Structure 1
Amino acid sequence: MPYAAGGPYGPPGGPGPYGQPARPTNGLAVASLVSGIVCCLPPLGLVLGLVALPQIRKKDQAGRPLAITGMVFSAVSCLLLVIGLVTGGFSSVWNGFKEGVDEASRSKSPFSLRTGQCFSDRSKSAEYATDVTVVDCANPHDGEVTGGFKVTGFAKWPGEDAIDAIAEKRCETVNLAYAMDTWAIPEDVWLFYYLPSSESWKLGDRTVICALAAEKKRFSGSVRSDATTLGGDQTHFLTSVNPIEAALYREPEEDPDEALAANKAWAGEVLAAIDGAHGSLGKHYWPGASTEPVAALRKDLAAASKQWRALATAADSDAYWEAYETAYEILPDGAKARGSLGLTDAPPAGADTPA
């Protein structure tokens, strides 16, 4: 019985247009072409093509052009790979890729920064920073994280001014504990902090990140000088004298003619810091070359105490002004004592320090 005539394009797997079975395409030929185009493993496409050709001939399969094309692409890819390895071009591309991955891994939110990390801030001009990059402290950077804290005591968003006031006070304390050798802080590097926004507050953000950051020009090197980097004598010395410097920076903006009580109260704070330093330095044993300079500093502090007491107990603004200039002039800076202990013995250029 004769076969029934099929249509020009019979059902899948049925007779072809001329009544002959359709030849299956060799799978390895297809794989060779794909491997050659993708170029992920250049030799693979070449090997698959070489294996596919005899199979195609033996089994009378389709796909010979695919296998040949895959082999050609693979051969070209292999040649480019060899040239890249010889000339270093491939190495440059790979290094660039690694640098890009590294750059991406170091880019993060300011609130993911950790104490001791140095960073560059790409969004300084924005109201809220969203992108900072962690860098090696030896390289130029915008700032260094000194610590942080959580804002507490508010059931709802208290406003930026309220958080700013808290951050300024607490970050000052954090910075002084992190960078005790204040004279080692570069010029133009000041107190800096990242605050939560009203939007992030709604999401549970209460973190303030404290830092020391450059106002204009970037700086290099870490400013860290705390108990982890200083010796016991250095730590005791700075713990004793730093409150004087901190108190001096809190001088009221209004002069005593306008706010005598506030200025006298401030002078009292400086006096307390001077007396505290005098007593604390006297309780410590100062070895070797530091013995005489520290003793001389204590003597100068005792003299300064008398003058600052006169300032703190001035009867009126005239008496205050009369004692003011002398009080600043007689206040010692302790440079020799600092140098004898291996601390920075010269204040940053432009710094307002005791005489």
Structure 2
Amino acid sequence: MEPSQPTPPTPPPAGGPQPGGWPAPGPYTSPGMPYAAGPYGGPPGAPGAAPYGRPPRRSTNGLAIASLVSGIVCCLPPLGLVLGLVALPQIRKKEQTGRGLAIAGIALSAASSLLLVVGLASGGFSSAWKGFQKGMDEAARSEGAYSLRTGQCFIDGNKGEKYATDVKVVDCARPHDGEVTGDFKVTGFDKWPGDGPIDRIAETRCEAISSSYALDTWKIPRDVWTSSYQPTGQSWRRGDRMVTCVLATEKTPFSGSLRSDSTSLSPDQEHFLLSLNPIERLSYEEPEDDPDEDFEANRKWAGELLAAIDSARAGLRDHDWPDTSKAALAALGKELDTASKHWGELATATDADAYWEAYDAAWEALPEDLGADARTALGLTGAPPAGEGTQA
């Protein structure tokens, strides 16, 4: 007997539930058809999709990083504050990271900006900057003349040679060989002009610079003269154009600063020296040739010295001097009145013989000390420097 055939099950209605209540599986895509869209644009592992269902990695906002860096760097606090404030809305809009960096940058920048404002208001920033400049100034000192600056005193290991290579800056209270009175830049030459032209320029310019720097010439030792350090042909090719003017000695070192100008003198002292110094300077510029050899040059010089005497008389007469010095200055003014009369005769001499006749009387009438009592009354150096020689 043949076995009976099993009766096939009755198929469920299309779309109906499977036995046990499970839903029918969804349709599969055909080979070669695209994947169904996943939650982030594709199936796991597909390009542009988040791997295995994780959200994509968010980028860090660049302005937030810049804000933090600017807040840390002391000279950029306002910039860090602005960058941080701009970064916060960008982070929210673009769903980026870096909010903590931006907040930290804003906080640091705000604190630094506040300190900066307080420093400027109180002068603390100015003091700090001056301290920084002083430190840089100290660091810039070197064993050479080209780094010397006005007011510095130095020891010259080359002892007055024109091209110094061994110059050491020292405190002016210590014995030293020279003091810087100023500097200037050589102009007017397209190429190296040679030592001669620069020597002539330096002599004229440095004489004027040193005279303005050291108005109280009686403070200057007799063997201290105006000199200069100049560019060499080699340094000129490197761009060096500076001439450094100095008061220096090749003999015994001296101590103390020679500076006496508006930075250290009272208005009365400065006025007195500016009035009298031209007489002293011109008294050392008498022509080398005597009147018999060059009468006109000598008479011209006498006229220049007469003009300096008359200018000093007016300067003393028209100034309102302190009560403690009025008597001494009045006495000096009378001496200059007498000197003016005799130097007038010398300056108007008609020939060499007449010049010689007036010569001795003119020199005797000129106060030899040019007002030592008046200088003392004004608090200036009361005696000329001892020793041989003449002043620069």
Smaller-chain TM-score range? 0.5 to 0.7
Tell me, yes or no, if structure 1 residue 349 matches structure 2 residue 386.
yes
SS of residue in 2 equivalent to 1:186: coil
Spell out the pairing of 1:1-355 with structure 2 (5 A cutoff): 106-124=141-159, 126-332=161-367, 333-350=370-387
Query: Structure 1 residues 148-157 or 113-122, which shifts more?
Result: 148-157
Q: 1:133 to 1:254 in 2, by over 3 A?
A: same
Is the Cα contact below 8 Å between 2:179 and 2:248 reproduced in 1? yes
- CA shift at 1:148, angstroms? 1.0
**Which residue is equivalent to 2:126?**
none
- Structure 1 unpaired stretches of 5+: 1-102
- CA shift at 1:127, angstroms? 4.9
Distance in 2, Cα, partners of 1:277 & 1:236: 10
The one-letter amino acid of 1:347's match is P
Q: 1:352 to 1:109 in 2, by over 3 A?
A: closer
The one-letter amino acid of 2:185's match is K
CA RMSD of aligned residues (A): 2.1
Q: 1:208 to 1:223 in 2, by over 3 A?
A: same
- CA shift at 1:111, angstroms? 1.5
SS of residue in 2 equivalent to 1:108: coil
- CA shift at 1:187, angstroms? 2.4
- CA shift at 1:144, angstroms? 0.4
CA shift digits 1:25-78 (9 cap, x unpaired): xxxxxxxxxxxxxxxxxxxxxxxxxxxxxxxxxxxxxxxxxxxxxxxxxxxxxx
Distance in 2, Cα, partners of 1:244 & 1:351: 20
CA shift digits 1:108-157 (9 cap, x unpaired): 32111000000011123655112200001111100000111111222232
The one-letter amino acid of 2:383's match is A
- CA shift at 1:208, angstroms? 0.9
Is the Cα contact below 8 Å between 1:119 and 1:141 reproduced in 2? yes
Is the Cα contact below 8 Å between 1:190 and 1:215 reproduced in 2? no
- Structure 2 unpaired stretches of 5+: 1-137
CA shift digits 1:143-189 (9 cap, x unpaired): 00011111122223222222112211111111111111110112211
Q: 1:275 to 1:126 in 2, by over 3 A?
A: closer
Percent sequence identity over aligned pairs: 62
Q: 1:309 to 1:335 in 2, by over 3 A?
A: same
- CA shift at 1:351, angstroms? 6.1
Is the Cα contact below 8 Å between 1:183 and 1:347 reproduced in 2? yes
- CA shift at 1:352, angstroms? 7.1
Is the Cα contact below 8 Å between 1:194 and 1:210 reproduced in 2? yes
Larger Rg: 2
Q: 1:254 to 1:310 in 2, by over 3 A?
A: same
Distance in 2, Cα, partners of 1:149 & 1:125: 19
CA shift digits 1:259-294 (9 cap, x unpaired): 111111111111111111111111110112210111
SS of residue in 1 equivalent to 2:386: coil
- CA shift at 1:106, angstroms? 4.8
Distance in 2, Cα, partners of 1:125 & 1:342: 33
TM-score when normalising by structure 1: 0.67
CA shift digits 1:57-112 (9 cap, x unpaired): xxxxxxxxxxxxxxxxxxxxxxxxxxxxxxxxxxxxxxxxxxxxxx9975432111
Is the Cα contact below 8 Å between 1:121 and 1:129 reproduced in 2? yes
